[in-house]
Amino acid sequence: MSETINLKLKVWRQKNTSAKGRFEIYDMPGVSTHMSFLEMMDVLNDKLIRGGQEPVAFDHDCREGICGMCSMFINGRAHGPLRGTTACQLHMRHFQDGETITIEPWRANAFPVIRDLVVDRSAFDKIIQAGGFVSVNTGNAPDANSIPVEKHKAEESFDAAACIGCGACVASCKNSSAMLFLSAKVSQLALLPQGDPERKVRVLKMVQAHDEAGFGSCTNIGACEAKCPKNISIAHIARLNKEYLRASLARD
């Protein structure tokens, strides 16, 4: 395979939330196949700045697949064509010479566009603030082995905690549901003894925050799991439903 490819980028440009957006076409000759997708975007922005144009706004931070900031739709897929991969981990060798790449922001009412490819994901923060925490007494740190945790529960909790809150589940869902994110955050605490005292009130408050933010309902299509860069299982949604039913019955 050639070490450089020529591309056309079809990029969504939008000045602010209320402005009407549009696609702009940019020629990108001689793109190194060793670049990551975000490095390619850096090259595009350098080219635009040198030409006296506004650079494309996009979110990024760690560029190691941990922070979840690199939220963009690439050729109709959240984070691009690869499974279990964030946009910052996607490399240009996975694209063909002469290809046109369409780059868009997440599309969801709960994620309004701030500028270009940047969306407001503070709705996720509101869900976490509603109950994604545990209350503990302060003081000396407890001994590591003082609270026994069953191995399978510890592993399931760890898997759920791998969620990076990128929003790919919302962007991939036809209903713009955040149930995979919500269920992962509920699971990681409900499975551990530290999260047990508040588990009923937690799930009720977090589901309420989810609905108030404008996210849609889950209809078990499975697109969220398919495009989650951390391969979070929709089995957590089943656990969320059980937790919610149990808490609702206890409340009534």
Q: Which residue has the tokens 């933010």?
A: 213
| Residue pLDDT, tens place only, 54-72 | 999 999 999 999 999 999 9
SS percent in the chain: helix, strand, coil, step 5: 40, 15, 45
Q: pLDDT at position 199, please?
A: 93
Cα angle 87, 207, 175; round to 5? 50
Residue 28: its H or E element: strand 22-32
pLDDT at residue 6, as a whole number: 97
Residue 201 burial class via C-beta count within 10 angstroms: exposed 0-12, middle 13-18, buried 19 and up? middle
Q: Fold for 121-251, please state it.
A: Fumarate Reductase Iron-sulfur Protein; Chain B, domain 2 (1.10.1060)
What is the C-alpha separation between 185 and 206, in angstroms, rounded? 9
Tokens linked to 190: 């409900």
pLDDT score at 251: 77
Query: CA-to-CA distance for 230 and 100, rounded, in angstroms?
Result: 27
Domains 4-114 and 121-251 share a fold: no
Q: In the chain, what are the domain boundaries?
A: 4-114, 121-251
CA 167 to chain centroid, in Å, comes to: 3
- In the CATH hierarchy, which top-level class contains the domain 4-114? alpha beta
Closest Cα to residue 175, out of 199, 139, 210? 210
Cα(first)–Cα(last) distance of the chain, in Å?
Answer: 64
Low-confidence ranges of the chain (pLDDT < 50): none
CA separation for the pair 22, 105 (Å, rounded): 12
Helices 179-190, 122-131: axis angle to 10 degrees equals 30
- The tokens 């937690």 sit on which residue? 202
Residue 114 φ then ψ, to 5°: -90, -50
